[in-house]
Amino acid sequence: MQTSGVFEISKELRERFALSSSVLVLTGAGVSAESGVPTFRGGGQTAIWKGMPFDVISSARMVERDLPAVWEWFDYRRNLLEKLSPNPAHDAMARWQARFSDFTLVTQNIDGLHQRAGSRDVLELHGSIWRARCNGCGSLTELHSQDNDERPPVCFECGNSKRPDVVLFGEMLPAGVFERAVERATRCELCFVVGTSAIVYPAAALPEIARSSGAYLVEVNPERTPLSSICDEVIQGKAGEILPFFDQ
């Protein structure tokens, strides 16, 4: 067993990492924790917003009930993100894209840090905090942190109000993105699950699909999760410390 500091990577996993060509990584909020982005269920300060748990303020019902409040919540998070940068975990996964001939990065995160680290073709299951979508015609626009447009922004094309292009609780995922992720999960040889509490569906179903299709399933997380028991290997620790260890 190769050990470094406080975590162990098995010989089998190092061999699989060296020999695999088809690899899928699913990430959650924990991969951005070392960049300073609060997680949802780790007690991070975003868990509660003006007395509302985040799964209330980040819900489809709130978009209908109080769209300005939803904008305030996402503007607050976008401004936080502006000062933060990708961490060594994001950088490692951006390097892995060049290393494996068939590499897929699927994220539940909406922070865009994977892309800022250089990852391309990221499958964003829950959308992006850096985009707005029109409630009427569906047109998409890029957002920037100092964006001081009126709230809610109004669509130039059709005059309807816009909402964050983010999948809220109780909403369907963007058409096709989960299906593409499932297709990649069924064919990968090696699947990493990094920094997710694995309780939000359908995202949390992906590692189960990869495992049942024969992939070697590895979890990277300081804590155990509902997925830990079906993993071939659980590496308990921080993503920013563990992931760079594989290819350096």
Catalytic amino acids? 126
Q: Pick one of Zn ion, ligand BV8, none as the site partner of residue 66 (Cβ within 5 to 8 A by kind).
A: none
Q: Which stretch binds ligand BV8 (CB under 6 A): 1-9, 115-123, 153-161, 166-174?
A: 166-174
Verify binding: residue 197, ligand BV8, rule CB under 6 A. Answer: yes
Smallest gap from Cβ 91 to ligand BV8, in A, equals: 14
Verify binding: residue 32, ligand BV8, rule CB under 6 A. Answer: no
Grouping H, G, I as helix, E, B as strand and the rest as coil, residue 121 is: coil
* Candidate residues 36, 138, 170, 226; the one interacting with ligand BV8 per rule CB under 6 A: 170
CB 243 within 8 A of CB 194: yes
Q: Which stretch binds ligand BV8 (CB under 6 A): 13-21, 112-120, 131-139, 164-172?
A: 164-172
Verify binding: residue 167, ligand BV8, rule CB under 6 A. Answer: yes
Say what the alpha-carbon torsion angle 151, 152, 156, 159 is, to the nearest 10 degrees: -130
Verify binding: residue 172, ligand BV8, rule CB under 6 A. Answer: yes
Verify binding: residue 239, ligand BV8, rule CB under 6 A. Answer: yes
Verify binding: residue 201, ligand BV8, rule CB under 6 A. Answer: yes
* Interface size with ligand BV8, residues (CB under 6 A): 37
Looking from the CA of 177 toward its CB, the CA atoms found within 13 Å total 19
> How would you classify the pairing of strands 48-49 and 52-53?
antiparallel
CB burial readout 136-169, b (16+ within 10 A) else e: eeeeebebeeeeeeebbbebeeeeebbbbbbbbe
Query: Closest CB to ligand BV8 belongs to which residue?
Result: 30
Verify binding: residue 221, ligand BV8, rule CB under 6 A. Answer: yes
CB burial readout 82-114, b (16+ within 10 A) else e: eeeebbbbbbbbbbbbeebeebbbbbbbbbbbb
Contacts of 8 (CB under 8 A, 6+ apart): 1, 2, 235
User: Which phi and psi (to 5°) does residue 127 adopt?
Assistant: 85, -160
Query: From residue 106 to residue 145, what is the string marking binding to ligand BV8 with x (rule CB under 6 A)?
Result: --xxx---------------x-------------------
Binding site for Zn ion (CB under 5 A): 134, 136-137, 139, 155, 157-158, 160
**Binding residues for ligand BV8, per CB under 6 A?**
28-30, 33-34, 39-42, 54-55, 58, 108-110, 126, 166-172, 195-197, 199-201, 220-223, 225, 238-240
